[in-house]
Chains A and B, each alone.
Chain A
Amino acid sequence: MEQRGKFDYILLETTGLADPGNIAPLFWLDDGLGSSIFLDGIVTLVDAKNVIKSLDEGYGDENRTTEDSHEKDHDEHGKLLTTAHLQISHADVILINKADLVSEQDLKHVVERIKSINGLARIETTTRSRVSQLEGLLLDLHAYDEVKDVDLEFASKGHSHLDSVSLG
């Protein structure tokens, strides 16, 4: 691994993992432990053409190994909880790849669907896995450095606030 200042950079690619949330906390080490390894951020790559199908039907999950495969997880409304759900929900950055293979309308639908699952993550579209620049998108995310009001404000948009309740 190349030395970058006093830190090594480990890019963890979680496509094969059914549940990236199990791994991420392992890398989240306390400053106080004097660790030189820290979690910069979690990046997920989704396929514009298949992601809706993955979310609705668990497309792609049938290839999971017997260790982590189990009966398809249905929640109380009969909806599937898929690998795609977990990959999206845990991410800080979500790259929607093969954006050129779907219509603008379909891409909009994909972005909306992903945003409804994870309202905090930064979403970018790419074509053929090409990104305009690595810094801030794949590397040097500093996703855990600070919590800005603008990010939280952004997360609460696009949801239907049905009502306001006053208590007390």
Chain B
Amino acid sequence: MKYDIPILLTLFQTISTTTITFPAISKAQAESFDKFLRTVLWEEELPGSLSSVPFEIHRLKGRIPVIGGNTLLVQGVRNIYEMSEANSDQNDYTRDEEAKLVLIGKAVDQPAFWESLVLTLDS
């Protein structure tokens, strides 16, 4: 599976906003995605034992289209997050809409973040 992921390098910025873009996921991957969030937000670790620097997530928001299912909506403040499904009539997404996860915090722009997400989704 191919992922086209923009690398956002906001060098030397204390707190920044990063957007990770990836393809729509399958229903089976939804659980992996939730696991990624739980690990990142509750254990403050990046799954996959990648080389990474300490990070803090202050806010997050995401829209993750699910193939054959409803789009997942996720938002969070610090370690509290909420995942819900858009109603099917709220699925204002086109066939080509990619998943977007926006993170605000410290060191959220490190490549290990999206590497870890990709690894978790592929597992």
**A159 & B17 in contact (Cβ 8 Å cutoff):** yes
Q: Mark A139-161, 1 if CB is under 8 A from B, else 0.
A: 00000101111011101100111
Do most interface residues of chain B lie in helix, strand or loop, or is the interface mixed? strand
Question: Which A residues are CB-close (under 8 A) to B86?
Answer: 146
- Identify the closest chain B residue to A24 (Cβ): B77
With both chains docked as a complex, state the minimum distance between the C-beta of B27 and any C-beta of chain A, in angstroms: 19
Chain B residues within 8 Å of chain A by Cβ, number: 45
- Identify the closest chain A residue to B107 (Cβ): A75
**A155 & B19 in contact (Cβ 8 Å cutoff):** yes
Does A111 sit at the interface, judged by CB under 8 A? no
Task: Indicate the size class of the contact surface on chain A.
Answer: 35 or more
**B59 & A156 in contact (Cβ 8 Å cutoff):** no
Closest 3 A-B residue pairs measured CB to CB? A119-B17, A156-B19, A147-B73
Chain B residues within CB distance 8 Å of chain A? 1-10, 12-19, 21, 53, 58-59, 61-63, 73-75, 77-80, 82, 86, 90, 92-93, 97, 100, 102, 104-107, 118
